Structure 1
Amino acid sequence: MGAEGQSGLGFISVLMNWLTSLPTAALLLIVLVVVGSISVLLYLLINRQVGDHREHAGMAAAAYMTALGSLFAILTGFLINSEYSTLRDARQIVGTEAAASSRLASATEGLPSVDGSAIQVRLGRYLRDVSTDDWEALADGDAQDSPAFLSLRELQSTVFSISSRPYVPAATTGAMDSAVAELTSSRRDLISLASSEMPFQLFALSAIAGLALIVNAMFVALRTGGGTAYVAVGIIVIVALDLALILGISAPFRGPFVVDKGPVQSMSEEVLQGVYLPWVGPGSTIATDAGTCRADPRGCLTIEAGDSIQLGALLRVGADSMGIGRDSRRGIDLAIDYLDAEFDGAPGMLMGHPVAVVAADDQCSAEGGREGAERILLGSRMVAAVGTSCSGAALGAAEPIFSRAGIPLMSAQNTAPGLTSIEKPGSTYARTAPNDLIQGSVVADFVVNGLSAKTVSVISDGTVYSEQLGQTFVDRLGSIGATALPTVIAPKGSDFSAIARSIVESGADAVYMPVNSPVCEDLMDAIAETPGGGGIAVVTSDACVNSDVVSSAARVNAYASGPDITALGKKPFYSEQYEKAYISTFGGQPLSVWNTSAFDATNLLFDSIQRIAVLGSDGSISIPRSALIEAIRVINGYRGVSNQMVCKPTGDCAQSATIAVYRAPFWPVGPSAAISEPVFSKTETLAAVVARN
Structure 2
Amino acid sequence: RHGARRSRLLTAAGAGLLLAPLAAACGSGGSGGSGAIKIGVPAPLSGDSASAGQDILAAAKVAAAEINQAGGVDGRTVQIVQADDQCSAQQGAQAAQKLLNSGVVAVAGGYCSGAAVPAIPIYGRRNVPFVMDASTNPSLTDTGKGKVFRTCGRDDNQGVVAAKFMTGELRARRIALLHDNTTYAKGLADATANSLKQVGGQVVYEDALQPGQSDYSPVLTKIASTRPDVLYFTGYFAEAGLLMKQRKQLGLKFTLMGGDATTDSTVLKTAGAAADGYIATTAPLAKDLPAAGKFVSAYKAANGADPGPFSVYEYDAVKVIAKAIDDAGSTEGPDITEALHKIKDFAGITGPITFDAKGDRTDPLYITVRVRGGAFTAYKKLDKSGATWVDAKAS
Q: TM-score range by the shorter chain?
A: 0.7 to 0.9
How high is the TM-score relative to the length of structure 2? 0.85
**Structure 1: distance between partners of 2:338 and 2:33:** 25
Match of 2:315 in 1: 599
Q: Aligned pair in 2 of structure 1 residues 606, 507: CA closer, same or farther (>3 Å)?
A: same
Q: Does the 8 A contact of 1:370 with 1:401 survive in 2?
A: yes
Match of 1:484 in 2: 203
Aligned residues: 369
Once the two structures are superposed, what CA deviation does each residue of 1:181-233 show, in whole Å capped at 9, x if it has no partner?
xxxxxxxxxxxxxxxxxxxxxxxxxxxxxxxxxxxxxxxxxxxxxxxxxxxxx
**Structure 1: distance between partners of 2:298 and 2:79:** 21
Q: Does the 8 A contact of 1:322 with 1:517 survive in 2?
A: no
Match of 2:18 in 1: none
Question: What does 1:420-569 align with in structure 2 at a 5 Å threshold?
Answer: 420-421=141-142, 424-425=144-145, 427-494=146-213, 496-530=216-250, 532-533=251-252, 535-551=253-269, 552=271, 554-556=273-275, 557-565=277-285, 569=288
Q: Aligned pair in 2 of structure 1 residues 481, 650: CA closer, same or farther (>3 Å)?
A: same
Matched, 1:301 2:186: no
Q: State the one-letter code of the partner of 1:595.
A: S
Match of 2:95 in 1: 372
**Structure 2: distance between partners of 1:340 and 1:306:** 14
The Cα shift of 1:121 comes to: 4.1
Match of 1:320 in 2: 48
Match of 1:384 in 2: 106
Match of 2:5 in 1: 120
Q: Which of 362, 378, 390 is matched with 1:677 structurally?
A: 378
Match of 2:119 in 1: 398
Question: What does 1:38-117 align with in structure 2 at a 5 Å threshold?
Answer: 109=1, 116=2
Match of 1:350 in 2: 73
Q: Does the 8 A contact of 1:459 with 1:512 survive in 2?
A: yes
Q: Does the 8 A contact of 1:656 with 1:685 survive in 2?
A: no
Q: Does the 8 A contact of 1:365 with 1:393 survive in 2?
A: yes
**Structure 1: distance between partners of 2:43 and 2:364:** 23
Match of 1:578 in 2: 295
Q: Aligned pair in 2 of structure 1 residues 493, 340: CA closer, same or farther (>3 Å)?
A: closer
Match of 2:393 in 1: none
Q: State the one-letter code of the partner of 1:677.
A: A
Match of 2:343 in 1: 635
Match of 2:359 in 1: 651
Q: Aligned pair in 2 of structure 1 residues 364, 685: CA closer, same or farther (>3 Å)?
A: farther
Once the two structures are superposed, what CA deviation does each residue of 1:110-160 show, in whole Å capped at 9, x if it has no partner?
xxxxxx56x4148xxxxxxxxxxxxxxxxxxxxxxxxxxxxxxxx9xx99x
In structure 1, the residue corresponding to 2:62 is in which secondary structure?
Answer: helix
**Structure 2: distance between partners of 1:570 and 1:358:** 27
In structure 1, the residue corresponding to 2:237 is in which secondary structure?
Answer: coil
The Cα shift of 1:626 comes to: 1.5
Greater relative contact order, per chain length (Cα 8 Å cut-off, separation 6+): 2
Query: Which structure has greater helix proportion?
Result: 1
Q: Does the 8 A contact of 2:45 with 2:54 survive in 1?
A: yes
**Structure 2: distance between partners of 1:483 and 1:362:** 37
In structure 1, the residue corresponding to 2:66 is in which secondary structure?
Answer: helix
Q: Does the 8 A contact of 2:237 with 2:263 survive in 1?
A: no
**Structure 2: distance between partners of 1:501 and 1:513:** 15
The Cα shift of 1:306 comes to: 5.5
**Structure 2: distance between partners of 1:684 and 1:472:** 22
**Structure 2: distance between partners of 1:461 and 1:447:** 21
The Cα shift of 1:538 comes to: 0.4
Q: State the one-letter code of the partner of 1:327.
A: D
**Structure 2: distance between partners of 1:319 and 1:464:** 17
Q: Does the 8 A contact of 1:370 with 1:398 survive in 2?
A: yes
**Structure 2: distance between partners of 1:677 and 1:630:** 36
**Structure 2: distance between partners of 1:354 and 1:570:** 28
Runs of 4+ in 1 over 6 A off after TM superposition: none
In structure 2, the residue corresponding to 1:487 is in which secondary structure?
Answer: strand
Match of 2:371 in 1: 664
Once the two structures are superposed, what CA deviation does each residue of 1:539-568 show, in whole Å capped at 9, x if it has no partner?
0011011110023174055211101237x6
Match of 1:335 in 2: 63
Q: State the one-letter code of the partner of 1:598.
A: E
In structure 1, the residue corresponding to 2:81 is in which secondary structure?
Answer: strand
In structure 2, the residue corresponding to 1:677 is in which secondary structure?
Answer: strand
Structure 2 gaps of 5+ residues are: 15-27, 387-395
In structure 2, the residue corresponding to 1:629 is in which secondary structure?
Answer: helix
Query: Which structure has greater strand proportion?
Result: 2
Q: Does the 8 A contact of 1:563 with 1:658 survive in 2?
A: yes
Q: State the one-letter code of the partner of 1:363.
A: Q
**Structure 1: distance between partners of 2:366 and 2:173:** 22
In structure 1, the residue corresponding to 2:372 is in which secondary structure?
Answer: coil
The Cα shift of 1:502 comes to: 1.1
The Cα shift of 1:475 comes to: 1.1
Q: State the one-letter code of the partner of 1:672.
A: A
Match of 2:130 in 1: 409
**Structure 1: distance between partners of 2:218 and 2:306:** 35
Q: Does the 8 A contact of 1:312 with 1:385 survive in 2?
A: yes
Match of 1:626 in 2: 334
Q: Does the 8 A contact of 1:311 with 1:385 survive in 2?
A: yes
Q: State the one-letter code of the partner of 2:292.
A: Y
In structure 1, the residue corresponding to 2:167 is in which secondary structure?
Answer: helix
In structure 2, the residue corresponding to 1:657 is in which secondary structure?
Answer: coil
Once the two structures are superposed, what CA deviation does each residue of 1:153-182 show, in whole Å capped at 9, x if it has no partner?
xx9xx99x98xx9xxxxxxxxxxxxxxxxx
Q: Aligned pair in 2 of structure 1 residues 486, 120: CA closer, same or farther (>3 Å)?
A: same
The Cα shift of 1:432 comes to: 0.5
How high is the TM-score relative to the length of structure 1? 0.50
The Cα shift of 1:341 comes to: 6.1
**Structure 2: distance between partners of 1:642 and 1:330:** 17
Q: Aligned pair in 2 of structure 1 residues 440, 357: CA closer, same or farther (>3 Å)?
A: same
Match of 1:50 in 2: none
Q: Does the 8 A contact of 2:175 with 2:205 survive in 1?
A: no
Q: Does the 8 A contact of 1:658 with 1:683 survive in 2?
A: no
Q: State the one-letter code of the partner of 1:631.
A: A
Match of 2:391 in 1: none
The Cα shift of 1:635 comes to: 1.2
Percent of pairs identical after alignment? 22
Moved more, 630-639 or 353-362: 353-362
Structure 1 gaps of 5+ residues are: 1-108, 110-115, 123-154, 166-299, 343-347, 615-622, 687-693
**Structure 1: distance between partners of 2:210 and 2:57:** 26
In structure 2, the residue corresponding to 1:493 is in which secondary structure?
Answer: coil
**Structure 2: distance between partners of 1:624 and 1:603:** 17
In structure 2, the residue corresponding to 1:311 is in which secondary structure?
Answer: strand
Provide the aligned C-alpha RMSD in A: 2.7
